[in-house]
Amino acid sequence: LVARRVAVPIGPGTLADGTRIPLLANIGSAAEAKAALTLGAEGIGLFRTELVFLGARSAPTVAEQQDEYRRLFTACRGKRVVVRTFDAGSDKPLSFLATDPEENPALGLRGIRATRAHEGVLRDQLAAIAAADAETDAEVWVMAPMVADADEAGYFVSLARELGIQVAGVMAEVPSCALMAGQVLGIADFVSIGTNDLTQYTLAADRQLGSVASYADPWHPAVLRLIKMIGDAGEQSGRPVGVCGEAAADPMLAVVLVGLGATSLSMAPTAFEAVRTELRQHTLEHARALAVQALSASTAAEARALVRE
């Protein structure tokens, strides 16, 4: 008896008309990056650096961080690696970026707000990334989480440039950032949409609370309208707009995100095959038509149904 092996289609993310949509991986360590590359990742779209140092009591030194980043960049030679600066607070507490107790930590001093309040930690992290970048051959992009507007984007981008970062962008996960996307993309080299938090804040539904889970649906047209604003700003500025939230791992929603203006998609590597297969069924024109349908819906369920039809 000869077992038949089913070939897994590994290849770049491509639409039916040949438009390239790079499929990138969300990872939390260099080891995860290696596994993602064997599954066909075209690069890393989100390196959650806070996960590497979750247990640290004190801030990691520049040398400690440089070792970690060097290991990752070496594994990703020639590929894009988007590094996110520490996203501390709320669901990802870091003791070296701890805040006073907060009643609503998701609305508190988290993400860029926390690192801005501890600027020495942010400076060290940016210096370590720049040093590791200089030693290796990956295409390193750096972004800050939870950026609210162009002023905050400007703070981050100028600090990143001062410390030797070549490509500096921001995550769009707070609705105000989407509403101000034109201004933000006048400053940031790129935007990456974090649909997990963008959905949480748009629908005012705690992403960790089961009782409101039905609200936290990235198919909601309110979320899609904000994403369209960012996509339009990306097209006008000619700057990349990625998506790195879980929404990118839903094959049909991935097509809608492309129709709304996403130029790359980053996800858990287990989703590559299904997303890659779905993207190949649609032209960019068709993805845009599906996005128009989804935007016209009044609920998440209706958006899903209209697109699936």
- From residue 213 to residue 252, the character string flagging contacts with ligand PEP as x (rule: CB under 6 A) and all else as - is -------------------------------xx-------
What's at 304, amino acid-wise? R
Segment contacting ligand PEP by CB under 6 A, of 97-105, 193-201, 253-261, 270-278: 193-201
Spatial separation of the C-alpha atoms in residues 50 and 9, rounded to whole Å: 32
Query: Which residue in this structure is represented by tokens 């400690």?
Result: 64
From Mg ion, ligand PEP, none, interface partner of 293 (C-beta below 5 to 8 A by class): none
Tokens representing residue 255 in the block? 């097509």
When binding is defined by CB under 6 A, the residue of 32, 68, 173, 189 that contacts ligand PEP is 173
Strands 191-193 and 241-243, how do they pair?
parallel
Residues 144 to 203: which contact Mg ion by CB under 5 A?
173, 194, 197
Spatial separation of the C-alpha atoms in residues 210 and 217, rounded to whole Å: 12
Residues 121 to 160: which contact ligand PEP by CB under 6 A?
none
Spatial separation of the C-alpha atoms in residues 287 and 292, rounded to whole Å: 9
Check binding of 32 to ligand PEP (CB under 6 A).
no
- Report in angstroms how near the CB of residue 245 gets to ligand PEP at its nearest: 3
When binding is defined by CB under 6 A, the residue of 14, 196, 286, 293 that contacts ligand PEP is 196
When binding is defined by CB under 6 A, the residue of 48, 110, 113, 220 that contacts ligand PEP is 48
- Report in angstroms how near the CB of residue 237 gets to Mg ion at its nearest: 23
Judged by CB under 6 A, the number of residues near ligand PEP is 10
- Report in angstroms how near the CB of residue 7 gets to ligand PEP at its nearest: 31
Query: Which residues, other chains included, contact 213 with Cβ-Cβ below 8 Å and sequence gap of 6+?
Result: 205
From Mg ion, ligand PEP, none, interface partner of 48 (C-beta below 5 to 8 A by class): ligand PEP
- Report in angstroms how near the CB of residue 22 gets to ligand PEP at its nearest: 16
Spatial separation of the C-alpha atoms in residues 243 and 192, rounded to whole Å: 5
* 208 neighbors 158 (Cβ within 8 angstroms): no
- Report in angstroms how near the CB of residue 201 gets to Mg ion at its nearest: 10
To the nearest 10 degrees (0 to 180), the angle between helices 300-308 and 221-237 is 70
Residues counted in the chain: 309
* C-alpha dihedral (113, 116, 122, 127), degrees to nearest 10: 130
* 141 neighbors 170 (Cβ within 8 angstroms): no
The residues that touch ligand PEP, with contacts defined as CB under 6 A, are: 46, 48, 87, 173, 194-197, 244-245
Point out which residues bind Mg ion (CB under 5 A): 173, 194, 197
